[in-house]
């Protein structure tokens, strides 16, 4: 993502209302800038920035990524400097991404809590305890007030400054509410309690920041899979270790056994087994030899490899995964959109309730002013919806990161949450349930097997047809080839050539019938083979059939388990394929697919998805991300199989399965259900705790420091609960 992209998604230059996600590029009237804002940690800051920039001249769109501390601003070409000035007025220090860090690299974390801030908070804590001690021992009240002022000065300066900025901009966030509450407590003489409240608030904010940093690290840790240096061949033929950023496409790198591969590339020398689990989640290592692709972040386990670099660090597969996860955070899940709408109503309502609590009983019921004013202050602290608002993004990003660690790239929170609602999944056959590479599964020779195999291999080498290549692979290493003479292609039927002075054909069932060499007995045999979903290829002399090869697309070993698990989850399965009905039904029977639609064109698959949606509701489609594009686009969730290394699949799919394991479809649904369960838990916790303390505050059973625990404690609770999704990242849910 570049810091400045020309874009426009509007009918007039930058005139559209702001939204939560960046618009798609369309014309040159607007620019899109990615800003790094280190102080933007939670929804409190997001709300403040929205209030300032949503109606700002020249700004048309805002996209927030709190966990990466990034703000995407779509603006008029000359509006960026005023936007930066406006953010500085709010107390932030924004920087365009090109200045904040290297492109394609997650923003550095830095210390979550600066040492000076931690020291001041410690001093404030001691002073607040001293103020409480003076109060409870009936000591000098002026001494207690002095300790309280010291505590507030050390721990509350930042809160009061942020609160004043928020109030100036018409925003009631937690800082504004805390500043009002502490000021009110001081006004009614509750000096020790005011000090303790501001210290507890500071401690709770510190703990919340540390918890959020773990969620940030979950995404940042994906990029940290790749080493910082790489060993490259120098101009003099020697090897030099240099920073990864200095590598160029086409350079030769060396990776010793046990080392991580630093960049995407192609093996040019050596053989080894490579652990790709950090990228694909595969449990077994993959053998690599000359010509095979390797990916940054994977681990070379056995022999030394020399690899030609094919992508720079910012363009590697792991970098694109990180970028996709970061982008996914701006696509808000349905629950998150609901929470945002609820929060906009909740705070003003509770603030109004606090005003009524402060005024109505004393004015209408002759109740004590100080008592009800204090209860109103407690309500102010409870009025902030931080716990509710922060629960959803932390939970969603934890789910996204957990999925990415398992080789499941989810392109947005909306897909992660909606996955639990999948009622049916349509699967393409070739490359999804099967390996997509035909293989000889049976060989019948009516005369010499060795001669038949040698002649068939010689003829198969003349054609690029998938069946011919399968026969050539089957014969490889088993016999020597014969140099064919007078070769001729027979379109739609096969190939003919002269081998050792004799004419031989290699072709399909139709060719045998045209040559009148297909006896009744052979016809019965061929139909029995084809009824199993296999393709027949015959080696034919002028007057007889010499051999029959049965070729079939091999079913993946994991397909049956994948389909069975989907059925156990209550998901209906359908095969959509362009292959013939016999083959389709045979493959479906082998893997346990419930229904089959064969001989489908892309438009037919699109219609099939429409029918499934009308019958079942939420439907997913699994394909290769290119040929099945119309059906993938029409499905509620499109899954791309084997997306590792594929730019197209990473861009077009809603969910990309980075290796070729269909079992991860069920893992995705299980993770989606677990994420939705945690989201519901967090909402119930946040609202439940708020409701309890609202009632306690009105009836006078809650104190200010209890309200701080209710607010910030709930925030910590929901953050910790959301982070539980990361703990199961390596398990099969």
Give the DSSP letter string of 140-179: -HHHHHHHHHHHHHHHHHHHHHHHHHHHHTT---HHHHHH
The span from the CA of 542 to the CA of 524, in Å, is: 21
614 phi, psi to nearest 5 deg: -70, -25
- H or E segment at 351? helix 334-365
Identical fold at 229-315 and 423-635?
Answer: no
Question: Quick one: pLDDT at residue 213?
Answer: 66
What integer pLDDT is reported at residue 88 of this predicted model? 87
Q: Where are the domains of the chain?
A: 4-100, 115-219+327-397+674-727, 229-315, 423-635
Over residues 613-635, the mean pLDDT reads 80
Express each pLDDT in 506-554 by its tens digit: 988 888 888 988 888 888 888 888 877 788 899 999 889 999 999 887 8
Residue 101, pLDDT score: 43
Instruction: State pTM to two decimals.
Output: 0.65
Distance CA 190, CA 135 (A): 10
- Sort 462 into a burial class: Cβ within 10 Å, 0-12 / 13-18 / 19+: middle
Torsion angle (degrees, nearest 10) of CA 213, 219, 221, 225: -170
Q: How confident is the model at residue 627 (pLDDT cuts 50, 70, 90)?
A: low
Q: Are strands 293-294 and 265-269 parallel, antiparallel or unpaired?
A: antiparallel
pLDDT above 70 covers a percentage of the chain that reads: 82
Pairwise pLDDT comparison (76 vs 340), residue with the higher score: 76
Dihedral pair phi/psi, residue 408, rounded to 5°: -115, 110
For 258-273, give the DSSP string.
Answer: TPBP-S-EEEEE--EE
DSSP secondary structure string, 74-88?
A: EEETT-HHHHHHHHH
pLDDT of residue 307: 92
Query: Residue 344's pLDDT is what?
Result: 72
Q: Quick check: 11 pLDDT over 80?
A: no
- Overall fold of domain 4-100: Alpha-Beta Plaits (3.30.70)
Between 274 and 463, residue with greater pLDDT: 274
Residue 496's φ and ψ, nearest 5 degrees, are -135, 145
Contact indicator for 40, 92 with CB cutoff of 8 Å? yes
Note the pLDDT of residue 519.
Answer: 87
Max mean pLDDT range (167-176, 322-331, 368-377): 368-377
Q: Band of the pLDDT at 560, cuts 50, 70, 90?
A: very high
Instruction: In whole angstroms, give the CA distance from residue 56 to residue 678.
Output: 37
CA-based nearest residue to 405, from 258, 309, 282: 282
616 contacts 630 by C-beta, under 8 angstroms? no
Q: Rounded to an integer, what is the distance from CA 157 to the centroid of its chain?
A: 38
Residue-wise pLDDT tens digits, 176-209: 777 887 888 888 878 887 888 788 778 767 766 7
Phi, psi of 139 (to 5 degrees): -80, -165
Share of the chain above pLDDT 90, in %: 12
DSSP string, 670-728: HHHHHHHHHHHHHHHHHHHHHHHHHHHHHTT---HHHHHIIIIIHHHHHHHHHHHHHHT
The whole-number pLDDT of residue 155 equals 86
Both tokens of 204, joined, read 């709770």
- At residue 121, the 3 state secondary structure works out as helix
Structure tokens at 442: 């049976």
**Tell me, what's the pLDDT at 462?**
79
pLDDT at 305: 92
pLDDT at position 52 is: 85
Q: How confident is the model at residue 106 (pLDDT cuts 50, 70, 90)?
A: very low
| Backbone Cα Rg of the chain | 33
- Measure the CA–CA gap between 526 and 545, rounded to whole angstroms: 12
Please, how many CA atoms are within 13 Å of residue 95, restricted to the half-sphere of its CB?
A: 10
* Contacting residues for 111 by C-beta, under 8 A, at least 6 apart: none
Question: 433: closest CA among 635, 608, 575?
Answer: 575
How far apart CA 178 and CA 378 sit, in angstroms, is: 10
Q: Which residue has the higher pLDDT, 111 or 311?
A: 311
Taking a C-beta distance cutoff of 8 angstroms, is the pair 567, 573 a contact? yes
**What confidence tens digit (pLDDT) does each residue in 218-238 have?**
555 555 667 888 999 988 888
- At 169, the pLDDT band (50, 70, 90 cuts) reads confident
Residue 24: per-residue pLDDT: 41
Confidence band (pLDDT; 50, 70, 90) for 324?
low
pLDDT surpasses 50 at 733: no
Task: Determine the pLDDT at residue 16.
Answer: 38
- Quick one: which of 585, 578, 648, 567 has its CA closest to 606? 578
Q: What is the overall mean pLDDT for the chain? A: 79
Burial of 592 (0-12, 13-18, 19+ CB in 10 A): middle
Residue 27: pLDDT band (50, 70, 90) is: very low
Counting beta carbons within 10 angstroms of the beta carbon of residue 114, is it exposed (0 to 12), middle (13 to 18) or buried (19 or more)? exposed
Q: Once rounded to an integer, what is the mean pLDDT over residues 173-178?
A: 76
The highest-level CATH class for domain 423-635 is: alpha beta
pLDDT grade, residue 42 (50/70/90)? low
Q: Which fold is adopted by the domain 229-315?
A: 2.70.150
At 109, is the pLDDT very low, low, confident or very high (cuts 50, 70, 90)? very low
pLDDT of residue 668 exceeding 90, the answer is yes
The residues assigned a catalytic role are 428
Predicted confidence band of residue 562 (pLDDT cuts 50, 70, 90): very high
pLDDT bracket for residue 67 (50, 70, 90): low
**Region label for 281, one of left (φ > 0), alpha (ψ between -120 and 50) or beta (otherwise):** left
Give me 125's structure tokens: 């804590």
- Distance between first and last Cα of the chain: 33
3-state DSSP assignment of residue 409: strand
């Amino acid at each position: 993502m570049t810091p400045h992209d020309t874009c426009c998604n509007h009918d007039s230059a930058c005139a559209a209302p702001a939204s939560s996600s960046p618009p798609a590029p369309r014309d040159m009237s607007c620019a899109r800038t990615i800003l790094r804002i280190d102080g933007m940690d939670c929804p409190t800051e997001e709300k403040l920035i929205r209030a300032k920039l949503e109606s700002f001249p020249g700004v048309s769109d805002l996209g927030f990524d709190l966990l990466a501390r990034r703000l995407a601003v779509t603006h008029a070409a000359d509006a960026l400097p005023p936007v930066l000035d406006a953010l500085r007025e709010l107390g932030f220090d924004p920087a365009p991404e090109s200045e904040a860090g290297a492109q394609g690299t997650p923003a550095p974390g830095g210390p979550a809590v600066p040492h000076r801030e931690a020291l001041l908070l410690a001093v404030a804590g001691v002073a607040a305890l001293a103020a409480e001690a003076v109060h409870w021992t009936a000591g000098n009240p002026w001494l207690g007030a002095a300790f309280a002022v010291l505590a507030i000065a050390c721990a509350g300066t930042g809160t009061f400054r942020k609160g004043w900025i928020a109030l100036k901009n018409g925003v009631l966030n937690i800082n504004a509410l805390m500043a009002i509450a502490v000021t009110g407590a001081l006004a009614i003489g509750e000096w020790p309690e005011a000090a303790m409240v501001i210290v507890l608030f500071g401690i709770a904010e510190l703990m919340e920041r540390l918890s959020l940093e773990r969620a940030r690290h979950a995404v940042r840790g994906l990029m940290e899979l790749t080493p910082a240096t790489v060993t490259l061949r120098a101009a003099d033929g020697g090897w030099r270790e240099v920073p990864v950023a200095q590598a160029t496409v086409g350079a030769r790198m060396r990776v010793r056994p046990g080392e991580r591969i630093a960049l995407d590339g192609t093996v040019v020398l050596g053989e080894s087994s490579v652990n790709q689990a950090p990228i694909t989640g595969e449990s077994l290592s993959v053998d690599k030899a000359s010509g095979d692709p390797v990916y940054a972040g994977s681990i070379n386990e056995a022999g030394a490899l020399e690899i030609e670099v094919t992508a720079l660090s910012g363009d590697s597969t792991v970098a694109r995964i990180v970028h996709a996860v970061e982008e996914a955070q701006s696509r808000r899940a349905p629950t998150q959109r609901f929470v945002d709408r609820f929060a906009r109503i909740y705070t003003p309502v509770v603030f109004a309730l606090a005003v009524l609590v402060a005024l109505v009983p004393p004015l209408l019921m002759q109740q004590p002013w100080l008592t009800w004013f204090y209860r109103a202050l407690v309500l102010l602290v409870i009025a902030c919806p931080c716990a509710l608002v922060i629960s959803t993004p932390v939970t969603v990003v934890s789910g996204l990161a957990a999925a990415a660690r398992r080789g499941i790239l989810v392109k947005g929170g909306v897909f992660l949450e909606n996955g639990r609602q999948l009622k049916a999944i349509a699967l393409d056959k070739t490359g999804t349930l099967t390996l997509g590479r035909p293989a000889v599964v049976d060989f019948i020779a009516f005369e010499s097997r060795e001669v038949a195999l040698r002649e068939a291999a010689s003829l198969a080498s003349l054609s690029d047809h998938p069946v011919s290549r399968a026969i050539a692979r089957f014969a490889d290493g088993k016999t020597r080839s014969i140099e064919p003479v007078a070769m001729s292609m027979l379109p739609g039927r096969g190939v003919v050539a002269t081998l050792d002075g004799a004419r031989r054909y290699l072709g399909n069932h139709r060719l045998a019938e045209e040559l009148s060499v297909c006896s009744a007995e052979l016809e019965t045999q061929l139909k029995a083979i084809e009824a199993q979903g296999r393709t027949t290829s015959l080696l034919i002399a002028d007057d007889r059939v010499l051999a029959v090869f049965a070729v079939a697309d091999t079913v993946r070993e994991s397909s049956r388990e994948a389909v069975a698990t989907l059925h156990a989850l209550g998901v209906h399965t359908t095969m959509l394929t362009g292959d013939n009905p016999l083959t389709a039904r045979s493959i479906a029977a082998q893997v346990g697919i419930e229904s089959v639609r064969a001989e489908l064109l892309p438009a037919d698959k699109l219609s099939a998805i429409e029918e499934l949606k009308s019958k079942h509701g939420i439907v997913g489609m699994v394909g290769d991300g290119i040929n099945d594009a119309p059906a993938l686009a029409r499905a509620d969730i499109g899954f791309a199989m084997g997306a590792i290394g594929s730019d197209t699949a990473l861009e077009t799919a809603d969910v990309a399965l980075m290796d070729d394991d269909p079992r991860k479809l069920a893992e995705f649904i299980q993770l989606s259900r677990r994420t939705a369960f945690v989201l519901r838990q967090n909402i119930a916790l946040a609202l439940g705790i708020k409701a309890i303390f609202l009632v306690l505050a009105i009836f006078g059973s809650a104190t200010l420091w209890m309200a701080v625990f209710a607010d910030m404690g709930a925030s910590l609770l929901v953050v910790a609960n959301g982070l539980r999704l990361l703990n199961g990242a390596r398990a099969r849910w």
